[in-house]
Amino acid sequence: MNRILFSLVLFVVFSLTAFAQQSEVLLTVGNQEISKDEFEHIYQKNNSNLYSNEDKKSPEEYLDLFINFKLKVVEAEALKMDTSQAFITELAGYRKEVAAPYLTDIDYSEHQVEELYRRMTLEVDASHILLRVDANASEQKKKEVLDKIRAIRNEIVAGKSFEEAAIEYSEDPSAKSNKGRLGYFSAFTMVVPFEDAAFNTPVGEISDPVKTDFGYHIIKVHDVRQNKGEILVAHIMKNIPREAPAVEKIKAKAAIDSIYQLLLDGADFAEMAKNESQDRRSAVRGGEMPWFAAGRIVAEFSDPAFTLKNNGDFTQPVETPFGYHIIKRLNARPVPPFEEARATIESQIKKDPIRLESGKKVFIEKLKTAYNFQEDEAAKAQLADIQITESNDLPATTLFTIDNQEFGPKELEAFVADNKIKSGTYLSVYDRWVSDEITNLEDSKLEEKYPEFRYLMNEYHDGILLFNISQEKIWKYASQDTTGLEKFYEKDKNKHMWGDRFKGYLISCNDVSVREEAEDLFGAGMNADEVLAHINNNGEELISIESGAWEEAQNPIVDYYVWNGKDPDNFDSATTFIRGDKIDPEPKTLDEARGLFISDYQNYLEEQWLKELRSKHKVKVNKKLLKTIEGA
């Protein structure tokens, strides 16, 4: 199972006065107290952006889930999982990532926000050629790569096709197959320098070289169109594995065509998706997928999806690199109006390191004022004449103070050593040192200043512990406890049943005479292996036999013979036949449904574990305070 990942919080500045009063304790689990504010924050967060309003829970309903969650966290802490070096390192990594938006400042100009909104309303279709260069490469190496990509651009301007050049030169691994074509994308999709170049290059022209963290690019813009917004669809999918033989593709096409006909005859789309779609993640929701924009998914899927005009319309079967799909439109929404989009644009700017960098200096100056920064200008001036190799000559005085903390030569030397700075004057690193120390001070106060940050870090803390203890107590244990799983299966083996099935052989012959021979051999009592060996004895494959057990709609040929299905595509009943029997529903064996029974066993183990935890750790709820929380 994958680790639960939490969304990066938007940079929202809360006034300190709004949280001046201590929130009342709503819940106590073991020795851990949870305030009303903290619970309400998590409750509201987890009841938004859901697939359906039916998934929303009342505060009372959610509290029970929350208590189970906290019980596991408290148990993990009792086992001292939060003291392991792996946990400490992982949490520190998350904190650094989450803290980044809080440790900068952007001066939002109206022009900047308006320009990014303009880009949101558009989609650019572009191709690129990439020449990679390491971030730590020498200036000489960077110049060589830049000269090379300029030469490639000149070749294209002189008449060479961009596609040919992409195949020949681009170091993007996908260029060999897509010829550098990226398709349509909108704002905030690509890294900033690439986005800037793409949106500022006229249609049909090629950009000057663009430097990103990946290397140097040149970009050709093919088209610019209005952003179609986002669409919500459901789909039914029949998967085609990579390098699948033609017969598998034929079977998948026959299956999707059969489903399409049933839909035309009035079958319920959601039920068909639940029962037939091989995209199991969406199938459980009736085929419903997350909202997506045209440029965020392969064109073979998005193009037909966006041609649907009305909610409820569905496509004919369409083919993508993943298989065959029938797509139904559920809803659509355009790009939001400017004023609605403003907050999203500003938060996206704050989350982007490149855009953030421009606000770093403004941020530091604000903190200097807030923390009463003072410096000894005379001592600072002396640093201009002292080389880093001459630390004994540093002035023995306080160089600056912030928040009543003093910083002098000892701290400066430590900064130089930590950053492995070997040359230059001390003055050349002074401003960077000051910036780092002020930023570190602000960083240390984030939990105190911003409740939203504190809540999010608590989520990361608890989420990591939840994963670790669940992995140890439930997930790993259930998959490794072979004896326990077998006993669990024997108690409830009828939970996962096969439906009516045909069990036997699917036989394909080269011609009618081979079929007649095969029928005679089966009639004489030979088994399938013997029939194969007898007919294919000269090395030529005249007959193929597939054994198995099939439910209805799993194989179009079996459907034809057993369930009176329609004629499959490219099917000849004179040379293809079946032998076997229709069998009644029966329990799936443990091997046939191992994943399902492991999941059930995990649920069983978790139920038993939670009973133990509730008896071990006392839970106390302020029910009167709970009633004051409004439902989502």
Taking only the tens place, the pLDDT of each residue in 194-227 is: 999 999 999 999 999 999 989 999 999 999 999 9
Residue 572: predicted pLDDT:
93
Selected residue with higher pLDDT from 51 and 96: 96
Residue 359: predicted pLDDT:
63
Q: How far is CA 497 from the centre of its chain?
A: 33
Taking only the tens place, the pLDDT of each residue in 132-159 is: 998 778 878 999 999 999 999 999 999 9
CB-based burial, 248-281: b 16+ in 10 Å, e otherwise: ebebbbbbbbbbbeebeeeeebbebbbebbebee
The answer to whether residue 52 scores a pLDDT higher than 90 is no
Report residue 96 as tokens: 């650094």
Report residue 549 as tokens: 């057990």
Tokens 């007919």 belong to residue: 535
Taking only the tens place, the pLDDT of each residue in 165-195 is: 999 999 999 898 899 999 899 998 899 999 9
* Averaged pLDDT score across all residues of the chain: 89
Q: Say if CB 543 and CB 535 are below 8 A apart.
A: yes
Q: Is 283 left (phi over 0), alpha (psi -120 to 50) or beta?
A: alpha
The answer to whether residue 112 scores a pLDDT higher than 90 is no
Tokens 């959610």 belong to residue: 62
The answer to whether residue 19 scores a pLDDT higher than 70 is no
Report residue 400 as tokens: 């600056």
Taking only the tens place, the pLDDT of each residue in 28-42 is: 999 999 999 889 888
Residue 15: predicted pLDDT:
27
Tell me the C-alpha distance between 310 and 308, whole Å.
6
Q: Say if CB 292 and CB 327 are below 8 A apart.
A: no
Mean pLDDT of 365-374: 94
Residue ranges covered by each domain of the chain: 122-226, 230-333, 358-446, 498-583
For residue 17, name the pLDDT band (cuts at 50, 70, 90).
very low
The answer to whether residue 106 scores a pLDDT higher than 70 is no
Torsion of CA 382, 385, 387, 393, to 10 degrees: -50
- Beta-bridged to residue 501, according to DSSP, are 551, 583
The answer to whether residue 320 scores a pLDDT higher than 60 is yes
Torsion of CA 467, 469, 472, 477, to 10 degrees: -90
Taking only the tens place, the pLDDT of each residue in 239-269 is: 998 778 888 899 999 999 999 999 999 999 9
For residue 358, name the pLDDT band (cuts at 50, 70, 90).
low
- Class of domain 122-226 as given by CATH: alpha beta
Taking only the tens place, the pLDDT of each residue in 533-551 is: 999 988 889 999 999 999 9
Q: How far is CA 560 from the centre of its chain?
A: 41
Taking only the tens place, the pLDDT of each residue in 452-473 is: 899 899 999 999 999 999 999 9
Cβ neighbours of residue 552 closer than 8 Å, sequence gap 6 or more? 499, 500, 559, 562, 563
* 452-459 long-range contacts, CB within 8 A, separation 24+: 452/9, 452/12, 452/14, 452/41, 453/9, 453/98, 453/99, 453/102, 455/38, 455/41, 455/42, 456/6, 456/9, 456/98, 457/94, 457/95, 457/98, 458/38, 459/6, 459/42
CB-based burial, 339-364: b 16+ in 10 Å, e otherwise: eebbeebbebbbbeeebbeebeeebb
Share of the chain above pLDDT 90, in %: 72
Domains 122-226 and 230-333 share a fold: yes
Q: Say if CB 276 and CB 259 are below 8 A apart.
A: yes
End-to-end CA distance of the chain: 29
For residue 7, name the pLDDT band (cuts at 50, 70, 90).
very low
Residue 8: predicted pLDDT:
25
Domain 230-333 maps to which CATH number in 3.40.50.620, 3.40.1390.30, 3.10.50.40, 3.40.50.300? 3.10.50.40
Residue 4: predicted pLDDT:
30
H/E element holding 551?
strand 543-551
At 485, the amino acid letter reads L
Tell me the C-alpha distance between 479 and 496, whole Å.
18
The answer to whether residue 406 scores a pLDDT higher than 90 is yes
Mean pLDDT of 123-140: 90
- Beta-bridged to residue 25, according to DSSP, are 35
For residue 449, CA distances in Å to 68, 334, 361 come to 30, 37, 21
Q: Where are the beta strands (DSSP E) in 553-605?
A: 576-583
CB-based burial, 478-499: b 16+ in 10 Å, e otherwise: beeeeeebeebbeeebeebebe
For residue 49, name the pLDDT band (cuts at 50, 70, 90).
low
Share of the chain above pLDDT 70, in %: 94
Tell me the C-alpha distance between 81 and 104, whole Å.
33
